[in-house]
Amino acid sequence: MKKETGTKDTSRGRRFPQWLSGIINARDLGGYKTTDGRMVKSGLLIRGASLTTAKDADLALLSELHTVKVIDFRTDFEKKGKENRTLPSAAYICLPVQPVDNEDAPKEMTQHKTFDISKLILMAAFNEKAKTIAREMYPSLVMRPDCQKQFAAFLREVVETQDGAVFFHCTQGKDRTGLASAYLLSALGVDRETIIADFDKTNLVCAKDVHKYCRKVRFLGGKEEELAVVKAFIGANTDNFIKALDLIDVEYGSMDAYLRIALGLTETDFETLKERYLLQQQ
């Protein structure tokens, strides 16, 4: 008997192959249950990091899934020297979301010819502005009008995709991509606990890199405050993500209201998303 391969994903109760191995933090949103007992369809909503490091096999699989849109949240600076590999079957849609206001970004982090996450993390760990960003990034991303505009455009692209899969990403597939996933899953009726668990999966993926960079920062004299920057920028700060969700509830009353008021979803949009991306109840 042939041994079954793959990774057991207990949160979704299904087995899936080791796929998209060249794309960091890639995963399918399919399999999550909604509060009304339905389930998100597999192979249609795929999140991850950029296609910069994608292997030929990864691109082939995305093509097999009939991926018709690749939505990129990276800024022009982040794409310097890190361009996506081409996926012939898909339209490339650029919706840059600036992680922080330009005025708040440390100059040391925006003046390199190419985007090198390794060098930037070591700089950021000892930068006071970067420490503030690490604490406040997610609340800022959910409340800034420029970010809301881009996430609204993202949801519109998903709503208007009539056939095929959507792959969406930022640089590491965790912060902006994590919020985009949260908005999508919320619109589909997935509960908050599941959404937080999906967001936190990034920390399992990034655990080795977090450990590596924390060792480097300690070697350079960094303490807990500096290590917190590494954990936020290499991993995903789940506590601050929850803080951002709480802020949405305070400012808008609920995630549902936020999706309607700040991100522009209509009742018809909610119905379209659920009809297209959810398995219907038996």
- Residues 40-52 have pLDDT tens digits of 999 999 999 999 9
Domain contains 34: yes
- More confidently predicted of 3 and 211: 211
3-state SS, one letter per residue, for 21-43:
CCCCCCEECCCCECCCCCEECCC
Please give the average per-residue pLDDT across 78-102, as a whole number.
89
Q: Please state the domain count of the chain.
A: 1
Give the domain range for residue 224: 7-279
Which pLDDT score is estimated for 246?
97
Domain contains 180: yes
pLDDT, averaged across the chain? 85
- More confidently predicted of 205 and 85: 85
Which pLDDT score is estimated for 116?
61
Query: Bridge-partner residues for 94, per DSSP?
Result: 72
pTM recorded for the entire structure: 0.83
Domain contains 2: no
Banded model confidence at residue 124, pLDDT cuts 50, 70, 90: confident
- More confidently predicted of 148 and 11: 148
Domain contains 232: yes
Structure tokens at 185: 């899953």
85: CATH: 3.90.190.10
Contact between 240 and 139 (Cβ < 8 Å): yes
Torsion of Cα atoms, 209 then 100 then 157 then 82, to 10°: -50
